[in-house]
Structures are given as C-alpha cells and as structure tokens.
Amino acid sequence: MKSQIQHRELCQQRDKEFLALYHPTLDAMLEQGMDMNQARRAAVEFTLINGHPHYHVSHERAYRCICHLLNACDKRGNGARTYRKATAMDLPKRRLRQQMWYEIAQCVRALMGKGMSMDSAIEHVLTYCRASRFFISPATALTKICTATRVRAIR
C-alpha cells in the first residue's frame, strides 16, 4: 500500500513537471498561428523529447532494477536471460521505461567507476541528475492535458 501511494505521488510530480514545460510551449505554438489540435500535439512531442525532468522513481525500485541490470551484464556467458548492454541505447521507442532504466544504470555505473557505492550513486542520480527526456508516450501525455482525451483513453 505504501509503495502504491509513493508511486502515485511520484507520477503526480512527473505530471506537474511535464505540464510546467508543456503550457509555455503550447502558448508559443499558438502564437505561431497553429490551430489548437495541431499545436497541442506539436507541444506534446516537443516537450516529451526536449524536456529534462528528474527521474521520478523510488530509491527502492531503482536499487532493485539497477542491481538486476548490472548483474545481467555480468552473467552474459551462462545462458541466462540477459538484457542489452547499457551502452546500446538504441532501443525501440515503445520501450520507454526500459530506456529510462538503462539511462539510470549508465549514470550509476559512471559514478561507481569514480568510487561511489551503488547506494549513494543511485541516490545521487535520483536527486541531482536529469533525464534526457520524459519517458511517457504521447498518448499518455495527451491524457494528462486534455480531459476529453482522458475520457476517450478510458473507453
């Protein structure tokens, strides 16, 4: 129950950060003479790709996922199910969550290479580092900004 509440709060923080960047972008698009639907979609795409939000994940979840990713890189030779290396960031677009975890793991690995422990490296990345983009799909982003879209997405 506690983790669900924490997850909801982190999602709300992400949404606030997204909307804070989205609205000025939408205003700029509307000033250029775009119609509302075209401007809304363009502003969503621009904000998703060009926004640099914080990583909105809990420390416990990040620790589990990063340990899994770093251990998977070590176990490549034994035939176990493995994931792509953290350096291979050319993942398909539909795997946004996976891209986020690889990005976090890459930052943690770099900090661990400089002598930090894994726990403090994860804490540093989650607190001070910024993501390369928002790791949500355009359809999800549209549900955050438009109630009519939200109703259609629920159906």
Q: Which of 99, 75, 76, 104 is nearest to 88 (CA)?
A: 99
Return the half-sphere exposure (C-beta side, CA atoms, 13 A cut-off) of residue 95: 11
Residues in the chain, total? 155
Question: What angle, 0 to 180 degrees and rounded to 10, lies between the N-to-C axes of helices 59-74 and 118-128?
Answer: 120
Q: What is the pLDDT of residue 6?
A: 84
Q: What is the pLDDT of residue 90?
A: 42
Largest Cα–Cα distance of the chain, in whole Å? Answer: 59
19 CB-contact burial (10 Å; exposed 0-12 / middle 13-18 / buried 19+): middle
Distance CA 67, CA 61 (A): 10
Q: What is the pLDDT of residue 140?
A: 87
Q: Kindly list the averaged pLDDT for each block of 10 residues, start to end, along the chain of length 155.
A: 80 91 93 90 92 91 88 56 47 70 93 94 94 90 71 44
Domain boundaries, the chain: 1-53+133-155, 57-131
Q: What is the pLDDT of residue 80?
A: 47
Q: What is the pLDDT of residue 2?
A: 66
Q: What is the pLDDT of residue 111?
A: 95
100: part of which helix (H) or strand (E)?
helix 96-113
The structure's pTM equals: 0.76
Q: What is the pLDDT of residue 1?
A: 58
- CA distances to 8, 11, 40, 62, 94 from 141, rounded to whole Å, are 16, 12, 10, 23, 14
